[in-house]
């Protein structure tokens, strides 16, 4: 997981690697983690731009520190984390006002599945094309 790898000729490895970037790093760690931490600290959720900034800068810094620059592979990993793992949930969910807004644990979400649909479709197409390219090169 922590060695640089473009999964040339290994479509299954590419697919599972990028789903992990999106689900575990982008969504769980950055979006869910930062919302949980912010709500513990301040009783509400952060602005969306703060989450995007954390994901965009933080993940790039981590990737460069851990693996160094590998051109398109670095950018593709970053894209799976940020576009599909962070921006798609930010497009889907918004903080909703509640009667107790501002008090610890009172923040709530509203969701709109359609606003994230372009990202979800792009994710599926990107994953399929990436896997197909590796399949044909195996």
Partner 1 sequence: MPEWLSDLLSLAGMAACFGLAGWALLNDEDDLP
If one asks whether residue 136 binds partner 1 (CB under 8 A), the answer comes out as no
Site for partner 1 in 98-127 (CB under 8 A): 101
User: What does the block give as tokens for 28?
Assistant: 């769980």
101 SS3 class: coil
| C-beta of 57 vs 132, nearer to partner 1 | 57
Span of 1-9, 10-18, 20-28, 51-59 interacting with partner 1 by CB under 8 A: 51-59
Task: Give the whole-angstrom CA distance, residue 51 versus residue 59.
Answer: 11
Q: Which of 10, 19, 95, 126 binds partner 1 (CB under 8 A)?
A: 95
23: closest CA among 113, 106, 74, 84? 84
Task: Give the whole-angstrom CA distance, residue 21 versus residue 17.
Answer: 6
| C-beta of 12 vs 97, nearer to partner 1 | 97
| C-beta of 12 vs 127, nearer to partner 1 | 127
Strands 93-96 and 108-111, how do they pair?
antiparallel
User: What does the block give as tokens for 119?
Assistant: 């990202």
Which parts of this chain interact with partner 1 (CB under 8 A)? Answer: 44-45, 47-49, 52-53, 56, 60, 69, 71-72, 74-75, 78-79, 82-83, 87, 90, 94-97, 101
């Amino acid at each position: 997981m922590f060695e640089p790898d473009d999964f040339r000729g290994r479509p299954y490895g590419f697919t599972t690697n990028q789903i992990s970037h999106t689900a575990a790093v982008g969504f769980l760690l950055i979006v869910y983690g930062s919302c949980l931490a912010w709500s513990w600290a301040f009783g509400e959720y952060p602005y969306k731009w703060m989450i995007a900034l954390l994901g965009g800068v933080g993940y790039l810094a981590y990737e460069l520190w851990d693996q160094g620059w590998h051109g398109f592979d670095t950018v593709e990993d970053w894209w799976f984390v940020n576009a599909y793992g962070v921006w798609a949930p930010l497009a889907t969910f918004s903080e909703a006002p509640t009667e107790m807004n501002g008090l610890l644990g009172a923040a709530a979400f509203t969701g709109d599945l359609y606003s994230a649909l372009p990202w979800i479709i792009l994710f599926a197409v990107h994953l399929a094309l990436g896997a197909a390219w590796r399949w044909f090169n195996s």
